[in-house]
Structure 1
């Protein structure tokens, strides 16, 4: 009998214990359980009371989340997880309910709108729990966890939680706003833990902190937080790849640890001590970046600004000659306090600019030109003053780095030894538009009278007009080889007086393009014959040289997609009220590709255009594309495939090899320019647009990001009615064309075959593959 009673007692004890540990214990939440914003309490606590799940106040409303509880101050909540971070707050009267059928945890707003907070991945749940680990979970009837907040980290990692590969912690906007902020910490597939600004594509170029774990780390590396405060990387075999912190901190129920990617982008480990009255004290026990190096966090300040330490915080400052985009939000970056044109057509000489010096100010290495063996800072300053593309030069003996806009990730670093030389405009600041010729002062560098007096020739007829006038004779001369290719007299030119050209162009009223030596205007002569009239803008010698070079090259070309006129493609894409349809954009891109292919492979004298861009694509009334402006082009000899020449073309469209010392220029430089322009045609936007969100400013970056994320539809507007398969193909072709290594770019023939669907378009490499590796 005693034995029987003992067995009964043991059975009751084991049953009660199993009940306490099962999902049906006192601390479990049953289906149908409901919380209200205005109820008390409006949360479900963990057994120890250290964590809670429910409503917390945010701004003028409420959010649903998990927080560390401070027993001595209930309003002091350390948020460790938030549901639906990007959704607006809900108003008073909202309800949080574990549905009666166990299928979901629902958030019901006061207006009746219902949203899902947690939804089991398999069978319905029979219970929910807020665990002492800080994990909110749903259980099925077999006590298996079918949903867990630990699997969906926000900005915080708790003890026992893992950050899996291709998953990120994302900082919050502020201490009081838990929506997604400016920084991300990625557990990358090759085992490295890396922090990036959210505005960038997550490639090594933009990283500001990393665990520097190599590919030998193994498969499925995860970030883990141990109960003793050890932060470590572990692979799928259980091997510790790397310790970020050594651990060894106090382990008991009153010491809690969390690792958070904070608002300022720094990854920190916190220790929380629970007092006897439930009070919560906190301290930082480790930080990935030291406090004195806070400005190393890329993205702290916006484009064209730089970060500087100010006491316990940071300040975002504008360099000389720049002003804030928004005075109320200095972190949003800066802009020039004057506007410039698209090209180097304004007076950019030392008479209009001077250099302002900034000590130890550093911008992201993104120079377009590098000059070695510069003995003096003054030489670097003069190199920038003499280069219309240069906005800032960085000098660190003996190297001079030249930068153009936008300037990214600037910071003050007193140990850098770098001097930033900022080009600042002297005097008045033009606010856009062409500078008007002032006949009284004669100070504008474009003075038409000088050209009229010196040459009696300021402009020229369209290439098509010249070509048709002398087509037969030109081809005969060429075929006989009677004259060398650089003899201008190959083509007889008709001169017009300045008054005739003013009349023909209605006083240079309609600009249809611009190039390296001037602007092109639409005109009409001989009873309505349409012509293109080019006004030379650079200095006399250089302007006439490019003008003659252009005529010489045009005389050697004849293709239906070379040189006719109307408005430019730039106007059609960027300013026209009637944007071309998707099918028209595809057709225009193909026409341009065929024109460039003719120059590269089918023209009798092989030609590198050197300045492919929308402003140099003229359109006729039927929107047929015509390549124009050969002033910067290079003729290749029959046995020549590459050349060496001075910097040519337009910023934003130049291939990387233009900015590398001793790199040859090939037809692939035109392929790169075409790739940039193709993406512009596809997206109907400029390759650089600082009015857009930071991650969208640089079109190549944005296009690759959208392609890699499978979201190419974000590159076009919904009204375009785009064929998504064709859109993806065009984006892939564009990304192939802008490959950094020119040998990997396709030829224009291959581009045409891909565009026409005769060959498949393979997935492109990352534009930064050479950097990442």
Structure 2
């Protein structure tokens, strides 16, 4: 075990058959080299030394380059390079005895200096070059005190300041990197996305809504565009529009069911595929990103606020919609028959209760029963007895009444009377007051 930190294994002929300096992991010590086509891997975490998210490759062309560990060694994936001007084969990254970190070829010729060196090296002053967890190569100095204390500081860093977000893969899929301060970065989710793991923001983000209804007529009313300034993701688009304005780019994404994010720069609109990769926000980036957000993404807030009653009354509203769209023609034809059933029905039909308790098994071949359901809820509402609708369930009756009122507005036969999706959301959230609705068509109130 040498003072340099190199651990060697000798054969019987005193030849070195194995040495730790020949197989570096994430750190170089003084006099150690990273030879041609050798790689340093960052650690997974400060507590886990297994291979992490980044690799530093001493390429065969003489250039030292950093990549995300899971990417190919292609020019579009690198995020830092030594940019050696005098490239040559057989170049190594060398850590000299005077703490100088440099690139040199097999003859000892210096291709490029990364640090100046010429620092004191003794038994109390130690140096190491480490490819850190965050994918940045740094030179450290350690001063050992007489009482066993250790003082460490960074002498050089390959990437500094705001450029730290240029590390591809610093934040996970569908997220973007932003600088918190000179020493720290933050991984953030764009609008419409949530963290995969809130306790580990660098794991990335996921969509918090499904756009499965996007292809329905008029579905654009369910979405809006949120803008992120100076924010960009990897160029991996399925469509490019040019020349276009900002407004045209935003509208093109809003009207495209396959688009979640559009990036605009120099009159060009890029529509990247999901998942988004290598996102970053930097004041020097001229790209503006448009993110499509579903208006009903507020459902999480609504659900927490309302609780079980939203789920129960939601079933009632679905039943109303099925009645309107599946049975409207039949209702006109059977008006007289239906009126007779209403007159003879009881306040609480025994077969209705099963439908309310989340069965959703409405028999469209027998619309008269569904009409009874709708009429029964209407009569409970008018009599101030909506508690009957949910039976023994513990609900907020004020919220329940609001949801039922919204439901009646949504099933008006006059389409002009029906609220837009945005108005429905605002009523559900309590932003606007829900007025008392007119009675639904063919209800007992009209007879």
Normalising TM by the smaller chain, what interval? 0.5 to 0.7
**2:157 matched to 1:284?**
no
CA distance in structure 1 between the aligned counterparts of 2:62 and 2:211, rounded to whole angstroms: 45
Task: Tell me the equivalent position of 1:314.
Answer: 185
Task: Tell me the equivalent position of 2:75.
Answer: 204
Matches within 5 A, 1:725-744: none
Distance 1:279 1:380, change over 3 A: same
**2:107 matched to 1:237?**
yes
CA distance in structure 1 between the aligned counterparts of 2:150 and 2:2, rounded to whole angstroms: 18
Which structure features the higher share of helix residues?
2
Distance 1:348 1:306, change over 3 A: farther
Q: Deviations over 1:442-467 (max 9, x none)?
A: 59xxxxxxxxxxxxxxxxxxxxxxxx
The one of 131, 136, 149 aligned to 1:266: 136
Task: Tell me the equivalent position of 1:191.
Answer: 62
Task: Tell me the equivalent position of 2:242.
Answer: 372
8 Å Cα contact 2:234-2:277 kept in structure 1: yes
Distance 1:348 1:134, change over 3 A: farther
Q: Deviations over 1:179-231 (max 9, x none)?
A: 222211111122211111223223222211111236x6222211111122211
C-alpha displacement at 1:428, in angstroms? Answer: 6.6
Matches within 5 A, 1:136-155: 136-155=7-26
CA distance in structure 2 between the aligned counterparts of 1:137 and 1:286, rounded to whole angstroms: 29
Q: Deviations over 1:558-578 (max 9, x none)?
A: xxxxxxxxxxxxxxxxxxxxx
C-alpha displacement at 1:135, in angstroms? Answer: 0.4
Q: Deviations over 1:468-512 (max 9, x none)?
A: xxxxxxxxxxxxxxxxxxxxxxxxxxxxxxxxxxxxxxx9xxxxx
C-alpha displacement at 1:419, in angstroms? Answer: 1.6
CA distance in structure 2 between the aligned counterparts of 1:370 and 1:243, rounded to whole angstroms: 42
The one of 339, 352, 361 aligned to 2:222: 352
Normalising by structure 1, we get a TM-score of 0.37
Give the match's secondary structure for 1:196: strand
CA distance in structure 2 between the aligned counterparts of 1:365 and 1:140, rounded to whole angstroms: 53
CA distance in structure 2 between the aligned counterparts of 1:323 and 1:371, rounded to whole angstroms: 29
Task: Tell me the equivalent position of 2:311.
Answer: none
The one of 135, 152, 160 aligned to 2:6: 135
Q: Deviations over 1:367-405 (max 9, x none)?
A: 23222332x321210121222222111122422222221
Give the match's secondary structure for 2:252: helix
Matches within 5 A, 1:520-531: none
Normalising by structure 2, we get a TM-score of 0.63
8 Å Cα contact 1:224-1:233 kept in structure 2: yes
Task: Tell me the equivalent position of 2:344.
Answer: none
CA distance in structure 1 between the aligned counterparts of 2:165 and 2:206, rounded to whole angstroms: 20
CA distance in structure 1 between the aligned counterparts of 2:27 and 2:324, rounded to whole angstroms: 66
Q: Deviations over 1:313-335 (max 9, x none)?
A: 22221111111222232211111
Task: Tell me the equivalent position of 1:384.
Answer: 253
Give the match's secondary structure for 2:221: coil
The one of 296, 306, 310 aligned to 1:427: 296
CA distance in structure 2 between the aligned counterparts of 1:306 and 1:348, rounded to whole angstroms: 31
Distance 1:378 1:349, change over 3 A: farther
The one of 153, 158, 175 aligned to 1:305: 175
What are structure 1's unaligned runs of at least 5 residues? 1-129, 431-435, 444-506, 508-773
Give the match's secondary structure for 1:388: coil
C-alpha displacement at 1:294, in angstroms? Answer: 1.8
Task: Tell me the equivalent position of 1:181.
Answer: 52
CA distance in structure 1 between the aligned counterparts of 2:297 and 2:60, rounded to whole angstroms: 53
Q: Deviations over 1:136-191 (max 9, x none)?
A: 11122332211100111111011111111222111112222222222111111222
CA distance in structure 1 between the aligned counterparts of 2:229 and 2:72, rounded to whole angstroms: 30
8 Å Cα contact 2:100-2:115 kept in structure 1: yes
Over the aligned positions, Cα root-mean-square deviation in angstroms equals 2.8
CA distance in structure 2 between the aligned counterparts of 1:396 and 1:442, rounded to whole angstroms: 45
What are structure 2's unaligned runs of at least 5 residues? 300-317, 327-363, 365-447
Give the match's secondary structure for 1:281: strand
**2:162 matched to 1:162?**
no
Q: Deviations over 1:202-261 (max 9, x none)?
A: 3222211111236x6222211111122211111222221111122222244432221101
Task: Tell me the equivalent position of 1:612.
Answer: none
CA distance in structure 1 between the aligned counterparts of 2:28 and 2:236, rounded to whole angstroms: 34
C-alpha displacement at 1:439, in angstroms? Answer: 5.7
CA distance in structure 2 between the aligned counterparts of 1:358 and 1:441, rounded to whole angstroms: 41
CA distance in structure 1 between the aligned counterparts of 2:216 and 2:93, rounded to whole angstroms: 54
Matches within 5 A, 1:522-671: none
The one of 269, 287, 311 aligned to 1:418: 287
Matches within 5 A, 1:82-161: 130-161=1-32
Task: Tell me the equivalent position of 1:172.
Answer: 43
Distance 1:351 1:344, change over 3 A: closer
